[in-house]
Structure 1
Amino acid sequence: MIAHTKIRVASVQFALRHTPEPQHFFDRVAHFVRAAADYGAHFVCFPEHFTLQLLSGTEVMLSPAHAIAKLSGYRVPLRDHLASLARGHSINIVGGSHATAMEGGAIRNISMVALRDGTVHERHKLHPTPDEKSVWEIGGGDSAEPIETEYGPIGVMICYDSEFPEMARALTDRGARLFFVPYCTDTRHGHLRVRYCCHARTVENQCYVVTSGLVGNVANVANLDMAYAQSAILTPSDFGFARDGIAVEATENAEMMVVADLDMTALDAARARGSVRNLHDRRPELYEVSWRA
């Protein structure tokens, strides 16, 4: 693996729109991937549940069970589309998340991560929210391993996952220094839970976190009344980083993309000589996060 000292990342704050034909959605995804590649980004991230708008073209609002069945039919087309875009534009894509039924019937919320060579890795949300459980019957996945990329291991935490410090610490212990958090929250309260927790993860693990949220509203999709977000690219809170620990952030509730350059050597310096050295100063003889493969 080649050591990369600078990594350019892009976060897409994707808007919900009426989608009469699936191709309209796929074309919009392609537009942002192309734009991120044109800006020289190495990674681009989309929001959680961004595929739910594919249901808006139905004549009647689907029940949750019928909605999952319909969404499941898009799993392979989405996977193939992301792989083709990643390979064609030489960029790594964190494909938000997609609710789908697995073989055997279990329902999962999955992030498809397409790497530049066209390979696709899937990471399941480990901690579905009470709403996801009760309405969509989504269950949690059982693996939180980092994804190996040419820029080093990356971690993917889908929305609520970011609110569990053990998950980020376990991924950090496996080498991840760059995290992607696709999220979907309906209120400012929910958005701030994700934002505050992601800020905490950057301090605890001396890492970078990219958040990508869904915004707006769309009719005819059950349990998707509205979406509130202010996506951001977050840094540790120390000398050598952005003053407020925010490399860049989007305008709240507006469809847009933000881009930032992340200096990986700054993480090395912070871990070795920072004002605080959270990773070094842990007390594993008193407490630890254990990894279960």
Structure 2
Amino acid sequence: MRIFITGASGYFGGALTEHLIAAGHTVEALARSDRARDRVSELGATPVAGSLSDTGVLHEAAARSDAVVHAAVDYGDRDMQNVEQPALDALLSGLPDGRPFVYTSTGLVYPDTKGRPVTEDEEVSEQTARQPHKYLGERRVLAATNLATTVVRAGMIYGRGGTTLLQLMIGQARQQGVVTYVGDGANTWSTVHVDDLAALYAAVVTREEGGGIVNAATRTGTAIRDMAEAVATLTGARAVSLPLDEAMKSFGPMALALTSSTPLDPSRAERLYGWKPSGPSVIDEILQGSYAAA
């Protein structure tokens, strides 16, 4: 298949590009800079010059593709909604009827359920989503009934030394000698190894029928405190609890996210695609894997 990817020069997109090329697909990848162009070329993909704002480029790339994967994600960009919606319109309108379109969402569209597991049928809304622009992106993609659309709601992605939260924890530990968590840190987060997630996408993109919404996470959650203590062990730092009010002063609304717990039920992905995550756990990755090596 000829597959067009956005975000191929990024953390998850790079791993996905490797998996797709290894499976024999031809990959074209959006590249908004010389650095991104060099990165996707190294991966074996053909760079397509442009950014998510270049809707004409997106439309044309989708039109010559057998499938599109939108893997470009920037949760910290407050303007992302205004950028992503026109980009999605261009990609969805360019892709020929019946072809697969895979949208990268996040488990953060779910509200905090305080530890109650959620399936894809859980009620979500723009008001309760912790990433509202991804909720809106999901709606736009799923409305394209002429395509085989799939929305993947992933847990915290880890592995290969990446992911923002763990990198911040490790950086804090090395610079300050402490790594912090909020409250008792007993709340668990759903996680998924970057290579396991890429393997799921590789299965999704070749399926003739869309999967609708699919959760992507291992069945075992990981407590935030356990992550912090693993980082402390790795770096020789101390794991320290912060009261919520103090954490709010330091981290703002992010502090609330660090106390949340919304376990993702991956049964649908397992059933539809035979998906069986096999990567090392996030704790093993920190203590003995890619983070230790880095």
Q: TM-score, normalised by structure 2?
A: 0.33
Which structure's relative contact order is higher, taking Cα pairs within 8 Å and 6+ residues apart?
Answer: 1
